[in-house]
């Protein structure tokens, strides 16, 4: 059973503050931040990619080429009937829902749109039709992928891979240092894919360790300082 205590910032969260919180293992949900605090398990590892050093694999390059006809637009998150329908189709048809129930408009807004940081919507369009969305939180030198979903009718395009590559490229163009993927869990198929982007770093017990390949045992690169921003649960 995972424990994810929610923490509310006691003051407005500036972009530089958010960079720090990401480096300390935080994720955002609505106007709150959280990180795992499980007494008997440390399986969830925040994972980030050093944007300027990332190199795509052959299969990732194929996914990029397959989607060169897509248009990317970046805007503030929006809630429409089509977006909610696409989100729920993606969640339910791909077996990503633990409850089996569709997400309501109110819950979508509270989770993805009601935010305490600078949040953007990366929109992927084919012939003017929206077929994929990624919600991305931005700091000064880091971006955090909150959630990605796409139209299941376009499953053969590998949109999950392409969107990550496109967002990494956007971060590179913007001069950002880090792209945060969220939690990596070795024993969870839905979260294990995040380790396919090299090099990457994983955080465990307050330490970031870098991996350059599947065979790399890892090298410690950063020991994180304690929290500096006051929060309330």
Q: Among 39-43, 83-87, 124-128, 156-160, which is the least confidently predicted range?
A: 39-43
Q: Is the pLDDT of residue 142 over 60?
A: yes
Domain positions in the chain: 6-33+43-232
Inter-CA distances, 155 with 21, 76, 90, 93, 167, Å: 34, 25, 10, 11, 19
Q: What pLDDT digit, counting tens, does each position of 27-49 carry? A: 999 999 999 888 888 889 999 99
The CATH class given to the 6-33+43-232 domain equals alpha beta
CA distance 177 to 159: 23
Q: Is the pLDDT of residue 227 over 70?
A: no
Q: Is the pLDDT of residue 97 over 90?
A: no
Q: Is the pLDDT of residue 1 over 50?
A: yes
Beta bridge partners of 100: none
Give 3-state DSSP helix, strand, coil % of the chain, rounded to 5.
Answer: 30, 30, 35
Q: What pLDDT digit, counting tens, does each position of 75-89 carry? A: 999 999 999 999 999
Average pLDDT over the chain, rounded to whole? 92
Q: What pLDDT digit, counting tens, does each position of 170-219 carry? A: 999 999 999 999 999 988 888 889 999 999 999 998 899 999 999 999 99
């Amino acid at each position: 059973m995972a424990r994810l205590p929610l923490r509310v910032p006691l003051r407005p969260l500036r972009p530089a503050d958010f960079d720090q919180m990401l480096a300390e293992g935080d994720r955002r949900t609505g106007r709150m931040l959280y990180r795992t605090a499980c007494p008997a398990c440390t399986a969830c590892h925040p994972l980030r990619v050093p944007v300027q050093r990332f190199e795509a694999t052959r299969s990732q390059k194929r996914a990029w080429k397959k989607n060169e006809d897509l248009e990317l637009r970046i805007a503030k998150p929006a809630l429409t009937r089509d977006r909610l329908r696409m989100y729920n189709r993606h969640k339910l048809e791909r077996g990503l829902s633990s409850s089996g129930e569709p997400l309501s408009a109110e819950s979508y807004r509270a989770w993805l749109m009601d935010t305490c940081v600078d949040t953007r919507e990366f929109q992927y369009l084919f012939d003017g039709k929206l077929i994929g969305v990624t919600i991305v939180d931005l700091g000064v030198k880091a971006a955090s992928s909150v959630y990605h979903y796409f139209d299941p009718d376009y499953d053969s395009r590998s949109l999950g891979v392409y969107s990550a590559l496109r967002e990494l490229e956007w971060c590179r163009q913007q001069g950002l240092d880090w792209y945060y993927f969220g939690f990596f869990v070795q024993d969870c198929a839905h979260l294990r894919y995040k380790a396919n982007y090299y090099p990457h770093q994983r955080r465990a017990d307050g330490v970031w360790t870098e991996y350059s390949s599947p065979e790399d045992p890892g090298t410690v690169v950063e020991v994180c300082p304690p929290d500096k921003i006051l929060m309330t649960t």
